Structures are given as C-alpha cells and as structure tokens.
Amino acid sequence: MIGHRRMVEKDILEKIVFLKDLPEPVLEKIGNIAHLETFDEEGILFRQNQEQILVYMLVSGKVFLNCRSALGKSLTLDEVLPGRTFGVSALMGETSSTFTAVCVEPCEIITLSGEKMLELFENDFKTGHSLMLKVVGIFRSRMKMHTRQFLHSLASHPEVI
C-alpha cells in the first residue's frame, strides 16, 4: 500500500549508488521529478510481465525480486538493499517487467517516471549519456561473467556437449 508522496531532497538522492557523482544541478532536476514514497510490508511494486513505468531507488527497507515459472513456482532472484536501483527497463522505454518486486518490510522508495527521466535525458544529453554508460558498463560485466561461468560449467561437464 502506498503512503505519502513528496519531492526528494539532494541528500537523499546522494544515497543512491546509480546517482553517485552526478553534478548538483542534475540532482536537483532529478529531485524535482522524483517522489519519496512509503510502502507497507508485502506491498507489490510491480508484477512480472506487467507494464512497468517507474524506476525505483531503495532508501530504506528491503525488496525481493521474484520470478514465477511457467509451472507457477516462485523463485527469489535478488534481495535489494538500500542504495540500489531497480526497474531500469522503464529508463529504456521498455515497459514489460521481467520480475515481480515485493517489499519484505516497510520501505521508503524513490520513484521516478521512466518517461520523465527520458525527457530529462533528451534535454540534457550529457547526463543521459553518462547514466546510460553506467548501465551498459554494469550489464556488460555481468554478461561477461555469465559467459565465463557457462563455459566453465561446460568444461567441467563435457558430457552435456
């Protein structure tokens, strides 16, 4: 359940890893379109395969990212802790969510409209570029790691080839 919403001050935004090192004027712009919201325990932020229009930045509390298989089994893939950002699909104009996000305790979360963030990037391409570069850097290193692990597994179990 959603509690109160308010604009977000710079000192709160600075706690978010993704926004680290951004210049003050950019943080102010983000603060103007961001909302600080409180969610109760068991509050569902978004559901797998449903439209996802917000980016979430966890200030306090804990969120689980779960996925449900075709057979209906639920699996917790990630435990999101304060300072982390999730729901980044909305930043790329891609609105279908891969996971379900659920609060496992009362949470304070910064929410940002993906559409408004894209507008901000289009008015300030330099910031847009540096944030997208961060996203790409993280995705790229995870892809490399997955590939390395996959090859290691195949090398350890050559019978599956």
User: Would you tell me which residues interact with another protein (CB under 8 A)?
Assistant: 17-18, 65, 67, 69-71, 73, 75, 77-80, 84-86, 88-89, 92-94, 98-99, 121-122, 125-126, 128-129, 132-140, 142-147, 151, 154-155, 158, 161
Closer to another protein by CB, 7 or 145: give it.
145
Q: Tell me the C-alpha to C-alpha distance, in Å, between residue 38 and each of 2, 49, 103, 136, 152.
A: 6, 24, 10, 30, 43
How many other CB atoms are there within 10 angstroms of residue 144's CB atom? Answer: 10
Q: Please, which residue, 21 or 122, has the CB nearer to another protein? A: 122
Which one, of 121, 123, 147, lies nearest residue 135 by Cα? 121
Instruction: Identify the DSSP state of 48.
Output: T
Cβ within 8 Å of residue 96, ≥6 positions away: 49, 50, 51, 52, 89
The distance of closest approach from Cβ of residue 66 to another protein in the complex, given in angstroms and rounded to an integer, is 10
Evaluate the CA torsion angle 143, 145, 148, 150 in order and state its sign: negative
**What are the percentages of helix, strand and coil residues in the chain, rounded to 5?**
40, 30, 30
Nearer to another protein, 11 or 161 (CB): 161
Least distance from C-beta 33 to another protein, angstroms? Answer: 18
Least Cβ distance, residue 36 to another protein (angstroms)? 19
Q: How far is the CB of 4 from another protein (least distance, A)?
A: 25
In the bound state with another protein, the residue whose beta carbon lies nearer, of 1 and 141, is 141
Q: Which SS3 state, helix, strand or coil, does residue 145 take?
A: helix
44 or 133: CB nearest another protein: 133
Minimum separation from the CB atom of position 1 to another protein (A): 23
